[in-house]
Protein backbone atom coordinates (compact mmCIF):
# COMPACT_ATOMS: atom_id res chain seq x y z
CA UNK A 1 0.00 0.00 0.00
CA UNK A 2 1.23 3.46 -0.89
CA UNK A 3 2.15 5.41 2.24
CA UNK A 4 0.83 8.58 0.56
CA UNK A 5 -2.61 7.03 0.04
CA UNK A 6 -5.53 8.60 1.89
CA UNK A 7 -8.81 7.07 3.02
CA UNK A 8 -12.16 8.75 3.65
CA UNK A 9 -14.08 6.88 6.35
CA UNK A 10 -17.42 7.49 8.01
CA UNK A 11 -17.19 7.78 11.78
CA UNK A 12 -19.75 6.67 14.37
CA UNK A 13 -20.54 10.33 15.00
CA UNK A 14 -21.81 10.62 11.41
CA UNK A 15 -18.99 12.80 10.09
CA UNK A 16 -16.08 11.75 7.86
CA UNK A 17 -12.41 11.28 8.68
CA UNK A 18 -9.49 11.64 6.27
CA UNK A 19 -6.81 9.12 7.28
CA UNK A 20 -3.43 7.86 6.17
CA UNK A 21 -2.90 4.07 6.17
CA UNK A 22 -2.26 2.60 9.64
CA UNK A 23 -2.72 5.97 11.35
CA UNK A 24 -4.07 6.27 14.87
CA UNK A 25 -5.53 9.74 14.30
CA UNK A 26 -7.37 11.34 11.42
CA UNK A 27 -5.63 14.01 9.38
CA UNK A 28 -8.91 15.91 9.34
CA UNK A 29 -12.60 15.39 10.20
CA UNK A 30 -15.34 17.00 8.12
CA UNK A 31 -19.15 17.00 8.25
CA UNK A 32 -19.77 15.60 4.73
CA UNK A 33 -18.24 12.96 2.52
CA UNK A 34 -17.83 15.47 -0.30
CA UNK A 35 -15.90 17.88 1.93
CA UNK A 36 -13.69 15.02 3.17
CA UNK A 37 -12.89 13.94 -0.40
CA UNK A 38 -11.98 17.53 -1.33
CA UNK A 39 -9.77 17.82 1.76
CA UNK A 40 -8.02 14.54 0.96
CA UNK A 41 -7.25 15.88 -2.52
CA UNK A 42 -5.86 19.07 -0.94
CA UNK A 43 -3.64 17.07 1.41
CA UNK A 44 -2.27 14.91 -1.41
CA UNK A 45 -3.08 16.20 -4.90
CA UNK A 46 -1.14 13.36 -6.57
CA UNK A 47 -3.19 10.53 -5.06
CA UNK A 48 -6.80 9.49 -5.56
CA UNK A 49 -8.38 8.97 -2.13
CA UNK A 50 -10.23 5.74 -1.44
CA UNK A 51 -13.73 6.22 -0.05
CA UNK A 52 -15.47 3.79 2.28
CA UNK A 53 -18.75 2.51 0.87
CA UNK A 54 -21.61 2.93 3.28
CA UNK A 55 -24.32 1.01 1.44
CA UNK A 56 -25.08 -2.66 2.03
CA UNK A 57 -25.35 -5.12 -0.86
CA UNK A 58 -27.69 -8.10 -1.23
CA UNK A 59 -24.70 -10.39 -0.66
CA UNK A 60 -23.76 -9.06 2.76
CA UNK A 61 -22.09 -6.06 4.35
CA UNK A 62 -20.85 -2.86 2.74
CA UNK A 63 -18.39 -2.99 -0.09
CA UNK A 64 -15.02 -1.85 1.18
CA UNK A 65 -13.46 0.95 -0.90
CA UNK A 66 -14.10 2.86 -4.09
CA UNK A 67 -12.54 5.72 -5.97
CA UNK A 68 -14.61 8.92 -5.85
pTM for the model = 0.76
| pLDDT band, residue 62 (cuts 50/70/90) | low
**Would 62 be classed as within a structural domain?**
no
**C-alpha separations of 14 from 17, 24, 30, 54 in Å:** 10, 19, 10, 11
**Would 26 be classed as within a structural domain?**
yes
Q: Tell me the per-residue pLDDT of 6-52, one tens digit each, with 9 for 90 and over.
A: 999 989 899 999 999 888 999 999 999 999 999 999 999 988 888 88
**Would 61 be classed as within a structural domain?**
no
**Would 2 be classed as within a structural domain?**
no
Domain that holds residue 39: 7-55
Number of structural domains found in the chain: 1
3-state secondary structure 22-39: CCCCCCEEECCHHHHHHH
**Would 60 be classed as within a structural domain?**
no
Amino acid sequence: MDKNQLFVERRKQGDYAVRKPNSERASDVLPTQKAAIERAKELNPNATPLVERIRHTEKGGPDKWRKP
